[in-house]
Amino acid sequence: MAEATLFTPYTMGAVALSNRIVMAPLTRNRAAGGFVPGPHAAQYYAQRASAGLLIAEATQISQQGQGYQDTPGIYSDAQIAGWRVVTDAVHQAGGKIVLQLWHVGRISHVDLQPEGKAPVAPSAIRAEAKTFVNNGFSDTSVPRALELSELPGIIADFRQAAANAITAGFDCVEVHGANGYLLDQFAKDGANVRTDAYGGSVENRARLMLEVTAAVIEEVGAGRTGIRLSPTTPANGISSSDPQTQFNYIVAELDKLGLAYIHVIEGATGGPRDIAPFDFDALRQAFSHTYIANNNYDLKLANDRLAAGKADLIAFGRPFIANPDLVARLQSGTPLAEMNPATLYGGGAEGYTDYPTAA
Ligand code: 8OZ
* Statement: residue 325 has pLDDT above 90: yes
* Statement: residue 1 has pLDDT above 80: no
Whether the CB-CB separation of 22 and 65 falls below 8 Å is answered with no
Mean pLDDT over the full length of the chain: 97
Distance (angstroms) between ligand 1 centre and the Cα of 140 equals 14
- Report CA-CA distances (Å) from 83 to 16, 98, 254: 21, 11, 28
Going by alpha carbons, the residue nearest to atom 1 of ligand 1 is 27
**∠ CA(220), CA(154), CA(186), 5° rounding?**
105
pLDDT digits (tens, 9 = 90+) for 243-261: 999 999 999 999 999 999 9
Asked if residue 268 has its Cβ within 6 Å of ligand 1, the reply is no
Whether the CB-CB separation of 310 and 292 falls below 8 Å is answered with no
Asked if residue 269 has its Cβ within 6 Å of ligand 1, the reply is yes
Catalytic residue among 45, 181, 249, 355: 181
pLDDT digits (tens, 9 = 90+) for 177-218: 999 999 999 999 999 999 999 999 999 999 999 999 999 999
Asked if residue 58 has its Cβ within 6 Å of ligand 1, the reply is yes
Whether the CB-CB separation of 138 and 186 falls below 8 Å is answered with no
- Report CA-CA distances (Å) from 41 to 11, 48, 69, 139, 351: 26, 11, 16, 28, 12
Distance (angstroms) between ligand 1 centre and the Cα of 264 equals 15
SS3 state of residue 191? coil
pLDDT digits (tens, 9 = 90+) for 145-172: 999 999 999 999 999 999 999 999 999 9
Q: Is 45 a catalytic residue?
A: no
Distance (angstroms) between ligand 1 centre and the Cα of 26 equals 7
Q: How confident is the model at residue 14 (pLDDT cuts 50, 70, 90)?
A: confident
Q: Which atom of ligand 1 is nearest to the CA of 236?
A: 7
pLDDT of residue 262: 98
Asked if residue 27 has its Cβ within 6 Å of ligand 1, the reply is yes
Going by alpha carbons, the residue nearest to atom 3 of ligand 1 is 27
Asked if residue 68 has its Cβ within 6 Å of ligand 1, the reply is yes
* Statement: residue 142 has pLDDT above 80: yes
Percent of the chain with pLDDT over 90: 98
* Statement: residue 281 has pLDDT above 70: yes
pTM attached to this predicted model? 0.98
- Which of 213, 27, 191 has its CA nearest to residue 120? 191
* Statement: residue 80 has pLDDT above 80: yes
pLDDT digits (tens, 9 = 90+) for 25-45: 999 999 999 999 999 999 999
Distance (angstroms) between ligand 1 centre and the Cα of 27 equals 5
pLDDT of residue 35: 98
pLDDT of residue 4: 87
Distance (angstroms) between ligand 1 centre and the Cα of 129 equals 12
Asked if residue 140 has its Cβ within 6 Å of ligand 1, the reply is no
Secondary structure (DSSP) of 264-284: EE-SSTTS-TTSS---HHHHH
Q: How many CB atoms lie within 10 A of CB 335?
A: 8
CATH number of 10-343: 3.20.20.70
